[in-house]
Structure formats: C-alpha cells, structure tokens
Amino acid sequence: MVDGSLENGGEVEILLEKFDPTAVVAEPLPPVVTSNDKANDREIVLGRNVHTTCLTVTEPDVDDEFTGDKDAYMASVLARYRKTLLERTKCHLGYPYNLDFDYGALAQLQHFSINNLGDPFIESNYGVHSRQFEVGVLDWFARLWEIERSEYWGYITNCGTEGNLHGILVGREVFPDGILYASQESHYSVFKAARMYRMECVKVGTLVSGEIDCADFKVKLLANKDKPAIINVNIGTTVKGAVDDLDLVIQTLEENGFNHDRFYIHCDGALFGLMMPFVKRAPKVTFKKPIGSVSVSGHKFVGCPMPCGVQITRLEHINALSRNVEYLASRDATIMGSRNGHAPIFLWYTLNKKGYKGFQKEVQKCLRNAHYLKGRLHAAGISAMLNELSSTVVFERPLDEEFVRRWQLACQGNIAHVVVMPNVTIEKLDDFLNELVEKRLSWYQDGEVKPPCIAADIGSEGCHCTLHK
Ligand SMILES: Cc1ncc(COP(=O)(O)O)c(C=O)c1O
C-alpha cells in the first residue's frame, strides 16, 4: 500500500483524527432495551417472577460521594435483606442444607480474592490461593472413604452437581464407549451430564423406597453386554433420600459378566455422603470396593455459607483427563477454571471443629429427629414415609402453596419432603407439625376435597388416605 491506495487499486479512508489509545466511548450508559411485543414477556412456569421484586441497579449521582445518599440507600437495602434472611432461615425445612454454623473467625478473609485455579496438588503462579486447606480437607475425606493419600486425586468443587459432572466424565474417559446407567430417581445433574457429554444413558427402575431396582438393572445390563458400564449409585436420592445398595449393584455387575475392568461406579453422595459412613447398617462407601469416584456437597450436611462440594477419585484415572496449562503453571483436570478458594477454608474450619465424632453425633440426632417427625405425622393421620437409612421424611403434599412456601418445602407431584438436618430441632418440628395439623383441618373440613393418596409413591403401609387408612 502506498499513499492511501491499495495495491489492488482500491482506496482506504485516511484517519484524520489522531488515534488516542486511552479514549473511551462518550456515553457509557446503555439504553434500556424495551419491547412492546407482549409475546416477548417472560413466561414464568415455576416459582415466582423475580423481576417483580428485583433490586434495580441505579447509576450513582455525581454528588453521591458528597451527600452519602447512595451509601445510606444501599445500607438500608442490605439491612432489610439481612432481616429477611434471618426470617427465612428460621422457617426452612425442605432442602438439605444445614443452616446452623458460625464462621465469624473467617470474616477477616473476606478481603482476599482467594482462587485455587488449576490442580489442588500443583501450585499455580497465582499466589493468593488456599491449596494447603484444600488438600487437608481432601485428605480428611480420603480417610473417610478409605483410600490412601498416594492413591487418590480430588478437589473442592462448586457443588454436588459439579462432583457428578466430574465423576461421570472420569467414567467416560476410562470407558469412552461406556453406557451410563442411573436410576430414574437420580438427581437431574446425572442426566444433564449424559446430555452434555452425549453419552448413551439407560434409566433403571426403582423400588417404592426410591432405591435402584437391581432386577431391572440386570435386564438392562444384559441388553447391552457388549459395552462397558458406567453407573451412578445414589447415596441418598433427592426426593426420598433412598440409598442404593452399592454391594448389590456390584454383585449384579459381577454376576452378569462385567469384570472390574468393564465398569466404573460413581457414587453420588451429595446428600448423605457424609452421613452414611456413620450409620451402622448402611452399605459402606469405600474405595476398598471397586468404585471409581465419590462426591458430596459441602453446603448440605456440613453447612457452609456458599455452595461447595468434594470430589474424590483414583489417581490412576485422572491422567486421562488432565492437561498441563503453561499460563497457570498448573494442571487442568477440573470442570471449572477459577475455583472458590474460600470454600476449602470453611470446610477445613468445620471439619477441625467437629471431627469425625462430632459428625457422628449430628447424624444420630438427625435420624432420631426424622423418626420423631414421621411418628408424629402418622399419629396425626398424615401419610408419611421414612427410609431406614435416611433423614428425609416424605409426606402428602400440603394443599396450600402459601404453606409450602412458608416452610420452603420441596414438592414433587403429590408428595413433599422435609430433610432433617442438624439445625432442625424438635421445637422447630413441633411448630411445623402444629401448624400443619391446624391448617389441614381447614383444608379438608367440608370433606369436598380429600388428602391425596400417595400409596404409589410411598407404599400402602405409610399411606393414610381414605382408601388405605
Ligand atoms: C442426590 C443429589 N445429587 C446431586 C445433587 C446436587 O447437589 P448440588 O445442589 O450441591 O449441586 C443433589 C441436590 O440436592 C442431590 O440431592
């Protein structure tokens, strides 16, 4: 190109304005996008439309710093929000979160951007990390699940879902042509993994308890004998808290020609992964058995202000998945890139305070309180079920959605559940039960509407509907 003309004869526009590399756009405020088209309105199918209650982000006024108005406004919003959180925390029963914890000692760390990006065992060049806590926590879980330090690999995840995504991915890397088997009551993240990884996935039937039906598992295995099996085993299903019989799953595999080099088991212990080891009669989750990985949520039974989880697998499996990343000076074998470096410190703090013995006591308390709840529901003539290894009490769905929302119950079809976590006391259960019993009188008083029959969900023994009582 010579003097503004291109070699092929075309002209280029000569920039008269001097190029200023620090110049920014004149108006940074983007226009609000509006549409008159009613068809574009967001249709809310489940839950509530948060757009009706959202807290709009507003531009600061030029004199805000001087007047302090904006700071005062934000402080009042936060104070109100804190009050709501306190109230909502008091009235929560439906989700498996232990809301009872005190991490005041860790407030001093809020000023740091702690990030464990990369492999927990290979320090990256980013120095503001908490790997020393992370590996300490992983060692604790490795001991719980009986695998030697030199033989495991793991990391602190963002949640139980990430543990499932990772465990199933490891399974697929070990057996690229493997078929994923999961009971129909598995968490939705398992089926999401199958879609994400485009894996063939076979749903296995369940018993009325919610446990995997190994007779059906056998039929499905035999129909796909030529392909290795990747199995998701539930250590506590989401809705009924059912614990799959790990030993029977392994036995079914072995008896049907699947040797240890032709299957991979991921144990989804998101819910009860930390409870089962302390229950005497529970099938033992241990790496002494031919399992490939175990994951658990950190914010559930442990209790943590942010979602997190733990994933442990065998070191021998992880190489297939890892890549060295020069930019990190570490290795990439996790699902996410940046990783929350605060979460391992919270877990480390609680594990230190409670120890294995402390958790065992809490498990005992939860199981006892869950039995209390089921007993009182039955005594009040309300259909209910409690799996023997579980603290999830399933019962008839309350008629009134306002009541469901007030107690933050999780519902599916005609059933609802309460997950008895360490923060759920007998007093709280009594308050809930008294209110439920009183409300039911008004819901069903004229006899026109009847409590639902939930025998199909929980079996006829636990069902107290007009037909089964
Ligand atoms: C059995 C099971 N697996 C996985 C998950 C997902 O865990 P998270 O919510 O921590 O992603 C849940 C959540 O409740 C669960 O119940």
**344 and 365 belong to one structural domain:** no
- 466/469 Cα distance (integer angstroms): 6
pLDDT in tens, 406-433: 999 999 999 999 999 999 999 999 999 9
In a domain, 15, yes or no: no
pLDDT in tens, 311-339: 999 999 998 888 888 887 888 999 999 99
In a domain, 78, yes or no: no
Residue 38's pLDDT band, with cuts at 50, 70 and 90, is: low
Spacing, Cα 410 to ligand 1 middle (Å): 13
**144 and 243 belong to one structural domain:** yes
Contact (Cβ atoms closer than 8 angstroms) between residue 308 and residue 157: yes
For the segment 108-115, the average pLDDT, to the nearest whole number, is: 98
- 203 or 64: which leads in pLDDT: 203
- What domain count does the chain have? 2
Spacing, Cα 123 to ligand 1 middle (Å): 29
Ligand 1 pocket check: which of 271, 409, 412 to mutate, most ligand atoms within 8 Å of Cβ?
271
For the segment 34-39, the average pLDDT, to the nearest whole number, is: 68
The CATH number of the domain holding residue 430 is 3.90.1150.10
Tell me what the pLDDT averaged over the chain comes to: 92
**364 and 349 belong to one structural domain:** no
The CATH number of the domain holding residue 336 is 3.40.640.10
DSSP string, 391-455: -EEEEEPPS-HHHHHHTT-EEETTEEEEE--TT--HHHHHHHHHHHHHHHHHHSTTSSS-PPP-H
Q: Among 126, 168, 172, 134, which Cα is nearest to 153's?
A: 134
Active site residue 322: no
For the segment 13-19, the average pLDDT, to the nearest whole number, is: 67
Spacing, Cα 167 to ligand 1 middle (Å): 13
**406 and 425 belong to one structural domain:** yes
Residue 436's pLDDT band, with cuts at 50, 70 and 90, is: very high
**158 and 294 belong to one structural domain:** yes
In a domain, 436, yes or no: yes
pTM, rounded to two decimals:
0.91
- For residue 70, pLDDT over 80 is answered with yes
pLDDT the model gives residue 1: 45
**239 and 186 belong to one structural domain:** yes
**247 and 276 belong to one structural domain:** yes
pLDDT in tens, 378-412: 999 999 999 999 999 999 999 999 999 999 999 99
Range of the domain at 368: 357-458
In a domain, 291, yes or no: yes
